[in-house]
Amino acid sequence: MARKKKDNERPKLTPEQANAYIAGAGQVVEEPITLTLERNYMPYAMSVIVSRAFPEIDGFKPSHRKLLYTMYKMGLLTGGLTKSANIVGQTMRLNPHGDAAIYETMVRLARGNETLLHPYIQSKGNFGKAYSRDMAYAASRYTEAKLDPICSELFRDIDKDTVDFVPNYDNTMQEPTLFPATFPTILVNANVGIGVSMASSVCSFNLAEVCETTIALMKDPEHNALNTLKGPDFPGGASLLYDEAELDAIYRTGKGSVKLRAKYQFDQDTRTIEIVEIPATTTIEAIKEKIVSLVKLGKIKEISDIRDESDLNGLKIGIDIKKGVDPDKLMQKLYRLTPLQDSYSCNFNILVHGYPKVMGVYDIIREWVDFRMDCVKRRISFDLARKKEKLHLLKALGKILLDIDKAIKIIRETEEEADVIPNLMIGFSIDEVQAEYIAEIKLRHLNREYIVKRLEETKQLEAEIAELTETLGSDRKIKSIIISELKDVIKKYGQPRKTQFFYKNDIEEAEPEDDAPDYQVTLFLSASGYFKKITPLSLRMASEQKFKEGDCLAREIEATNKTELLFFSDKAQVYKTRASAFEDTKASSLGDFIPAKLGFDEGENVLDMVVTTDYSGYLLFVFENGKVAKVPLNAYETKQNRKKLNNAYSAKSPLVAVFHISTNEEIMLRSSNGRAVIFDSALLLPKSTRDTQGVQVMSLKTKGSKLEKAFILSPEQADQLSKYRSKTIPVAGSFAKDIPDPDQMSML
């Protein structure tokens, strides 16, 4: 692993460059902004990303690593608790950013704060709570801390050259660039960071599931992680919506979001909803403030009181509800309107070899396995070198085994101490290191028993060296070591999931209530798709409608502000909304352009508008081919309150008109070949599907003719035009070139 460049290292300048800088000091030189950004801003941006904001493959940012390593060197892995202020002061030898920043980092890693799924620091005293914005932590002089036992997995074999070390900022001590963690800590504990122009948000997963998934992927690269890694696991619990497609996308790309909702229980005696777990993205205060705001606005009327009942036993929000209120239905409403249900956005942006990279779970585990294999190889190489050194020394004992007296004689007869080593080297044909070892043996050890035991140790060392050498050359054996360590971690530190799942089929979503006020309005729709909602008072003041040039009124309907609107388009789609979604306007304005307001597809236009309050009655669809379909309006009512429905009517023939009828009506049809027919809508049977073609009503026998117009007739009009009435369908109709359209008749 390449040595990291220190932040305070600067490129050395030649004398000519230094003189050029001095000569240009104080001068203002114009240069392209792109060059300035590249030379001055980009180094700063990369420094923030690499040295502060983002975690590396070992799961830690530099600030975390400096703090934990300082505590390790202080002996706090096995020792007792010490004052947090002492730890903060010692950490400043590695992290010169101030005691406040160091202590904040320490608080987040502590068990008492409940931020991490597996805290790295045991704490005593008030460390605040991650789920409370206002519950402040105590000053460092009041709290105590030490390393949690799980940290032994972070520092295992760190002194065996498993990772690189670099000098600290003032070159007085060494610090590790990474921790040789024995499990993928990057996925076990959440990590959030904001750099320059990019951010990172890694959610936490269950330790046992992460280790099992890592083992499975090491054995089978094609393993489906969803089988072992069920989903994120948050320290605060809550419930997670299990969406397999979304989780698979996160596992493969590192981007996506998961939906969390609070857990609650209901006390029937006090009629209190007790919130006991909340999403990791919110706080108690944010939830209370939102609920209080909704109560004041009158959008929630079922709640009589809300309070924070959190204590030493954990989080609890008490919500008193009024008599007769269904707690489950109220919670569905609160999930929809408050942070009791929230989304956690995943963005697995991690530093790999000094560069930020967005990776999915599969890629992260592969990178971690490569990193861990390098650590294990370096540990084996370290152990192998030490054993070879010891074997080299013990072989010197073997050479003096048969003639210990000769060694004593050489030492005794050597007049000067400096000549002892050279004489032993000559006398036994050994090197200087071996001669030093022989010379340092105590007199009490110059017996055959001691030397024989050391020779037996030589045989054991040779076997161990052979085994280590074989292991070092086999990736399969190194992986088996990593798998064995992962199994040990599961056994020691595995714990049940805190975040459980809920499913779409398990939850019946409450239909959103329209809290808008209800009052009389008149709705106007123009031929080109402009919509206006005008109150009676405004209409009385100015009743002349303004339209764009070439536009005209297509539909005018008396309704209320809570009326539901269905806008049918020329692409056989219907868009649903409510009158309350539009602002009251005046006759002098153009109004809202419906395709833009409701997000129509490109090139899609409005054909007609239907209004309803209860989805009763029928829709009549009249087509150019002479067919008419009768569809119940409730076919367009959806429990999920969808805003857009495809296949709203048949697209096989162009639509001429849409009529909303509640009773049987007399309908007049006119064709392009001058014929007309009047029929009773009772002759049509309702169809169960929305996109039905219906039945043939007007027979178009003349080639090229088509049905052009359709009208609903009043009883008076129907009587006046009775000669065109037909009691059966289909019918060709009678010639009617001389009669006006019903909307042009004087009686209208």
142 annotated active-site: yes
Cα-based angle 742, 744, 748 (whole degrees, multiple of 5): 75
Cα–Cα distance between 208 and 212 in angstroms, integer?
Answer: 6
Contacts of 40 by beta carbon, 8 Å cutoff, 6+ apart: none
Alpha-carbon distances of 639 from 335, 397, 438, 511, rounded to whole Å: 17, 88, 90, 7
- Residue 554's CB: how many other CB atoms inside 10 A? 16
| Other Cβ atoms closer than 10 A to 381 | 16
C-alpha 407/C-alpha 417 separation (Å) is 14
Q: Among 499, 510, 524, which Cα is nearest to 587's?
A: 524
The β-bridge partners of 696 are 627
Which helix (H) or strand (E) covers residue 476, if one does? helix 475-493
Q: How many CB atoms lie within 10 A of CB 557?
A: 16
- Cα 746–chain centre separation: 65
The Cα 141–Cα 344 span in angstroms is 35
534, containing H or E segment: strand 530-534
Count Cα neighbours of 193 within 13 Å in the Cβ-side half-sphere.
26
Q: What does the DSSP assignment read for 668-702?
A: EEEETTSEEEEEEGGGSPP-SSTT---EE-B---S
Counting every residue written for the chain, the total comes to 748
For residues 156 and 153, give the distance between their C-alpha atoms in angstroms, rounded to a whole number.
5
* Residue 482, number of CB atoms within 10 A of its CB: 20
Tell me the HSE value of 173 on the side-chain side, using a 13 A CA sphere.
12
Residue type, 467: E
How many helices and strands, by DSSP H and E, does the chain display? 21, 33
Neighbours of 53 (CB within 10 A): 22
Nearest to 176 by CA among 162, 161, 166, 186: 166
User: Shortest CA distance to 238 belongs to which of 298, 283, 179, 301?
Assistant: 283
d(CA 488, CA 490): 5
Cα 676–679–682 angle (5° rounding)? 160
Q: Determine which one of 41, 142, 355, 519 is catalytic.
A: 142
Let me know: does 622 contact 710? Beta carbons within 8 Å. yes
Closest to 285 measured CA to CA, from 60, 95, 472, 129: 129
One-letter amino acid identity for 160? K
Say which amino acid occupies 473: G
- Helix axis angle for 84-91 and 99-109, nearest 10°, is 120
* Helix, coil or strand: residue 435: helix
Q: How far apart are CA 156 and CA 613, in angstroms?
A: 69
Burial, 191: exposed, middle or buried (Cβ in 10 Å; 0-12, 13-18, 19+)? buried
Cβ neighbour number for residue 719 with a 10 Å cutoff? 11
What is the C-alpha separation between 264 and 20, in angstroms, rounded?
71
| Contact yes or no for 532/523 (Cβ under 8 A) | yes
- Do residues 340 and 334 touch, judged by C-beta distance below 8 A? yes
Strand partners, 345: 257
- For the record, the structure tokens of 445 come out as 């050890």
- Which residues are catalytically annotated? 142
